[in-house]
Amino acid sequence: MSAPSRSDVPPTSIGVDLREEGVVIEYLDGRTTLYRGVPESAEGSVTAGPGKETHVLVTDPTETEGVMTYVNDYKTDDEILEESGVGRVIVEDGERDEVFPGVIVGRTGQRNEVVADPEIAGGRVFVFVEDGWTEGSYEIVDGPEDGLDAHREV
């Protein structure tokens, strides 16, 4: 039996509902999930600690749809992602990838970093960081002071 495939998977537009209690995602397969709590404002970037799952959501201007990408998720099978509409990007240590216009993900050591400029992205940019014990919700509200070009791969 061969190992399951873990590759980049492009995201598809999924439903988004911004509520007082958090951000609700409606996947293409009809399932929903709630990222609890009002996201904490972040300027320019969010860096996840080692071992943390990192999910990036970019809404459309209406804030009712968006695209979600998992960063360095090695657990979820490609087929499940495709059926749900969630994308995945794999970045190695020292690499960066622009997963959506205005949204760059990278990896330094064991940490995932999301750098974004919501004005370029054309919607709101949320980053959800979690493990089996804790959840963190962030909204990148401003682009990085040094601009996105400083964070793109050369």
Residue 2: its pLDDT value, please? 46
Task: Write the pLDDT tens digit of every residue in 14-64.
Answer: 999 999 999 999 999 999 999 998 999 999 999 999 989 999 999 999 999
Comparing CA positions, the residue from 60, 58, 80, 77 lying closest to residue 69 is 58
Examine the pLDDT at 154 and tell me if it is beyond 90: no
DSSP conformation letters of 14-73: EEEEEETTEEEEE-TTS-EEEEESPPEEEESEEEPPTT-EEEEEEE-TTSSEEEEEEES-
pLDDT tens digits, one per residue of 67-89: 999 999 989 999 999 999 999 99
Count Cβ neighbours within 10 Å for each residue of 57-94 and write b for 16 or more, e otherwise: bbbeeeeeebbbbbbbbeebeeeebbebbbbbbbbeee
DSSP 110: T
pLDDT bracket for residue 151 (50, 70, 90):
confident
Residue 97 CA to residue 107 CA, distance in Å, equals 10
